[in-house]
Amino acid sequence: MKAIVKTNFQFPKQKNLYVGKVRDVYNIDDKYLAMVVSDRISAFDVVLPEGVPYKGQILNQIATKFLDATSDIVQNWKIGTPDPMVTVGHMCEPFKVEMVIRGYLSGHAWREYKAGKRTLCGINLPEGMKENQKFPTPIITPTTKEDIGHDEDISKEEILSSGIVSKEDYEALEKYTLALFERGSQMAKERGLILVDTKYEFGKKNGEIYLIDEIHTPDSSRYFYAEGYEERLDKNEPQKQLSKEFVREWLMENGFQGQKGQEVPNMTEEIINSITERYIELFEHITGDKFVKADSDDVQKRMNSNVSEFLNNL
């Protein structure tokens, strides 16, 4: 299959198209969104030059599964999934923060800790922790949600004092974030995995809070294999993980961290295929389902037909 890195549909009652790093979001009559999850892949806030076949389908179907599995905790934006790569849902006004929650000292949190910082987003971190060690309790480390450039760490106090989110709404977001992470952690445990950290995005429609975007996918979450976790921790060895971190590590090994003047290393067919395989591996591990590659004869035509028919019946 050829990776789908660009779409430009004209759906019924379409108002406009927003092209994000990975998603093409179609505004339908200012009421609904048709979100196409492309095969683009980003790291360090940079869209890499090559797409990854089936990545969009994988992310969309994982997100669908977890949105359905958590709808009893908080209502979400999803109305339906008319195509393997597309979700249609309610158009909400997004909160300008992303709710990042961490159960373990990994990734960005570890890099900050290793640099000597003992406070993250206003939260004090214990001394003497090791990379990938579990926190006593999960911590919420929000970021700003920027349209352009890097999202920045921000504390609860800064969010409330600046009025980005009201106190009442923020406390609801915290409650939902903790409950969603607990559910995601339990589902991961059943599959022999550890949900290390993840992020949730929320929005409002008609005064009500909705969970929006994707959840518990390898683009928004980090997973470790539970088997061997303690042994690797004791030996200070890297954890075996299922997340997009392996892409970041490959880039860093080849001298790229998204900084000015750096060039993305050559993404060979072998590298691209290995990324596809890792995404399929995560899909099957986290969902417990066998991944079935969707018909790839004419993906653009398939999406256009499926989504247009769905929208006409809304």
CATH (domain of 201): 3.30.470.20
Residue 164 domain flag: yes
Q: How far apart are CA 95 and CA 77, in angstroms?
A: 14
For 245, the token pair is 């971190």
Residue 97: pLDDT band with limits 50, 70, 90: very high
Through-space distance between the first and last CA atoms of the chain, rounded to whole angstroms = 31
Residue 170 domain flag: yes
What pLDDT was estimated at residue 41? Answer: 94
Residue 134 domain flag: yes
Residue 277 domain flag: no
- CA-based torsion, 127, 133, 138, 139: positive or negative: positive
Q: How far apart are CA 74 and CA 39, in angstroms?
A: 28
Instruction: Give me the number of domains the chain comprises.
Output: 1
Residue 42 domain flag: no
Q: Which letter does DSSP use for residue 147 in this model?
A: S
- The candidate with the shortest Cα–Cα distance to 200, out of 248, 256, 141, is 141
Distances, alpha carbon 254 to alpha carbons 21, 48, 248, in Å: 22, 14, 10
Q: How far apart are CA 34 and CA 80, in angstroms?
A: 10
What pLDDT was estimated at residue 149? Answer: 62
What pLDDT was estimated at residue 71? Answer: 98
pLDDT tens for 69-94 read 999 999 999 999 999 999 999 999 99
Contact 86, 34 (CB under 8 A): yes
Contact 238, 106 (CB under 8 A): no
**Mean pLDDT score across all residues of the chain:** 95
State CA 202 to chain mean position distance: 13
pLDDT tens for 176-193 read 999 999 999 999 999 999
Residue 158 domain flag: yes
Host domain of residue 164 = 94-243
Task: Report the run of H or E that residue 64 belongs to, with start and end.
Answer: helix 55-69
pLDDT tens for 253-311 read 999 999 999 999 999 999 999 999 988 988 998 899 999 999 888 999 999 999 999 99
Residue 136 domain flag: yes
Q: What is the DSSP string of 105-117?
A: S-HHHHHHHHTT-
Q: How far apart are CA 180 and CA 86, in angstroms?
A: 23
How do beta strands 86-90 and 78-83 pair?
antiparallel
Amino acid letter, residue 265: P
Residue 184 domain flag: yes
pTM of structure: 0.89
pLDDT tens for 197-234 read 999 999 999 999 999 999 998 888 999 999 999 999 99
Spell out the residues 6+ positions from residue 105 whose beta carbon is closer than 8 angstroms to its own.
113, 125, 129, 130, 131, 132, 133, 134, 135
